[in-house]
Amino acid sequence: QVQLVESGGGLVQPGGSLRLSCQFSGSILEYYAIGWFRQSPGKGREGVATSYNGGKETAYKHSVKDRFTISRDNAKNAVYLQMDGLTVEDTGVYYCAADTLPVNIAPLETFAYDFWGQGTQVTVSS
């Protein structure tokens, strides 16, 4: 069983930054893919950034690629999402998720992940 807890959300002005943290516990193996997803008002849940292949590879949603950075610290059982240059379109609930299969076949797709945190709210507004 895997447990994930997100933190670091909040209210920020456009152009600002936030750093989200995902603390995981339980039977975590280094090859697990850990991803960040978000659900904006009126939209479905979408993949934002993922660390997979034991942390050797990353994947990003196109619209955040030059602004968000995912990082992973297996020793601390944590994954982080540094978000810079935030826009109102980045508003939403951000979730981290774990894929416990040995090979992640779809880094940014929700169907590939089997454990989810409760989410943390990010609001970008002036």
Per-block average pLDDT, block size 10, for the chain (126 residues)?
A: 94 98 83 93 95 90 96 90 97 95 86 95 97
Q: DSSP label at 55?
A: T
Q: What is the pLDDT of residue 99?
A: 92
Q: What is the pLDDT of residue 58?
A: 95
At 47, give phi and psi (nearest 5°). Answer: -75, 140
Question: Which helix or strand (DSSP H or E) is residue 16 part of?
Answer: none
Q: What is the pLDDT of residue 55?
A: 82
Q: What is the pLDDT of residue 63?
A: 95
Q: Do residues 56 and 74 make contact, with C-beta atoms less than 8 angstroms apart?
A: no
